[in-house]
Amino acid sequence: MSIVDEKAKEVDAADSPAESHCATSVDDGNGIAGLTILFFIVGFTASLFVGWIVFPKLLYSEKQQPIDFNHAMHMELVDNGCESCHFFRTDGTYSGVPKLAQCIDCHQEVQGDSEHEAVFVEEYVSKGREVPWLIYSRQPDCVFFSHAAHVQLAKMDCVTCHGHIGESTSLKPYEYNRITGYSRDIWGKELKNYLGLKTNTYDRMKMNDCAYCHLEETGRKSSVSTEKDGCFVCHK
């Protein structure tokens, strides 16, 4: 018996680890699968959160314009809409953001009681210094864009690309990409803009947006004036 017992003991001893292993493995199997999935979900959601929420916040920084400007009020005072200040020069080039010379006629003296107006006259007009405006719609230097071709030839209006800035009463902060240094308006403000989706034409102004509009309007991505296709249409 003792021998049997001993054998039995031996078997027991031999079996018991297997059993215990088996038992553990079934038991642990459920636990580990759950944990693994949990870890996956944690990693997945955390990175989605970082990628969609934190990253865009980190990627962009913002600056305030040197002084505020009321587009809406100026629009009431001028006769020719946006082109009164953002005009085409006689050689067809586009003047862009107005220079001091255009403001000086009315702003020799402080107009009204706005604090920004006082700063404008004292710091810029009387010192003959240009205001270092931050330009929301400035494309990277490698992009060639002709306002004349779009506004004068294709008769597009300013709102199509620049939105309703002409109706604003104050300037929004200038957000810029920390990596590229360019304005956020080019890439778009909303998360969906990252996917190339947009509600308004002016929500985003990246390469594909140019190409899309060209395709829509002309049936081809090429330049209208030169009829040429390819990178050098815009990247000269």
Smaller CB separation from other proteins, 117 or 136: 136
Total count of residues recorded for the chain: 236
CB of 97 to other proteins, least distance (A): 9
Using CB atoms within 10 Å of the CB of residue 183, give its burial: 0 to 12 exposed, 13 to 18 middle, 19+ buried: buried
Smaller CB separation from other proteins, 8 or 23: 23
Q: What are phi and psi of 8, to 5 degrees?
A: -55, -40
What torsion do the CA atoms of 135, 141, 143, 146 make, to the nearest 10 degrees?
A: 60
175 forms bridges with which residues in the sheet? 62
CB of 218 to other proteins, least distance (A): 26
Distance between alpha carbon 214 and the CA centroid of its chain, in Å?
21
Residue 108: which residues within 8 A CB-CB, separation 6 or more? Answer: 121, 125
Smaller CB separation from other proteins, 39 or 72: 39
Query: DSSP class of residue 122?
Result: I
CB of 213 to other proteins, least distance (A): 20
CB of 98 to other proteins, least distance (A): 12
Residue numbers at the binding site for other proteins (CB under 8 A): 28, 31-32, 35-48, 50-52, 55-56, 59, 89, 91, 93, 95-96, 140-142, 177, 179-182, 187, 191, 194-195
CB of 182 to other proteins, least distance (A): 7
CB of 59 to other proteins, least distance (A): 7
User: Do residues 131 and 96 touch, judged by C-beta distance below 8 A?
Assistant: no
Of the CA atoms within 13 Å of residue 79, those in its CB half-sphere come to 0
Smaller CB separation from other proteins, 140 or 230: 140
Smaller CB separation from other proteins, 59 or 156: 59
3-class state of residue 23 by DSSP: helix
3-class state of residue 144 by DSSP: coil
Smaller CB separation from other proteins, 168 or 193: 193
